[in-house]
């Protein structure tokens, strides 16, 4: 499968972020500077929380940074779930079938807003219209223990939820 240069750049940047020391209080996935006009996503019933997804830790093995998923995250593997987030298109166009969902909004078209614990790769059955507002998708979650692009999560066969 061919990946766009935007996709590869986003994943490389996300992997670099994951290699950083653990965040201190007031930083990390879902954190917003108090001056930011964006508010963190509120947890909603029936939607997997970013606090659950971001509870992953990492370990170094053979010069690679690998995720260590807690039991609640492992239990979600290959389950049909709903997740909400901000779209990061991987290709040009107003409708997307392959994109990243972020726990925080993008503030720069060349910046990755979160590390791999705050991103989910999404592959949809039907195109989803790009939006600056959070979107909810439903699909099968794969918890990725050694993704070549450094991703921790992927939702396949997804569809938008209204």
Write down the domain spans for the chain. 5-161
Cα gap 108→94, rounded to integer Å: 17
- The pLDDT of residue 19 is 44
pLDDT, mean over the chain: 81
Measure the CA angle with vertex 133, ends 149 and 151; round to 5°: 10
The DSSP H or E segment spanning 15 is helix 5-18
pLDDT at 112 (0 to 100): 75
pLDDT tens-digit profile of 29-65? 444 444 455 556 888 999 999 999 999 999 999 888 8
Is it true that domain 5-161 has CATH number 2.40.50? yes
Per DSSP bridges, beta strands 64-68 and 95-102 are: unpaired
As a whole number of angstroms, the distance between CA 87 and CA 90 comes to 9
Q: What are phi and psi of 121, to 5 degrees?
A: -75, 135
- Residues paired with residue 62 on neighbouring β-strands, in sequence order: none
Task: Note the pLDDT of residue 87.
Answer: 93
């Amino acid at each position: 499968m061919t990946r766009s240069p935007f996709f590869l750049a986003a994943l490389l940047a996300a992997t670099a972020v994951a290699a950083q020391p653990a965040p201190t209080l007031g930083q990390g996935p879902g954190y917003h500077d108090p001056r930011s006009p964006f508010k963190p996503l509120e947890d909603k019933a029936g939607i997997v929380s970013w606090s659950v997804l971001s509870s992953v830790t990492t370990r170094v093995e053979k010069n690679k940074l690998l995720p260590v998923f807690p039991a609640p995250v492992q239990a979600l593997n290959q389950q049909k779930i709903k997740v909400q987030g901000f779209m990061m298109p991987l290709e040009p166009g107003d409708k997307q079938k392959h994109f990243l969902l972020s726990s925080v909004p993008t503030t720069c078209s060349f910046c990755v807003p979160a590390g791999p614990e705050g991103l989910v790769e999404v592959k949809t059955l039907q195109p989803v219209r790009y939006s600056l507002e959070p979107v909810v998708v439903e699909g099968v979650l794969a918890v990725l223990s050694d993704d070549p692009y450094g991703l921790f999560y992927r939702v396949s066969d997804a569809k938008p939820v209204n």
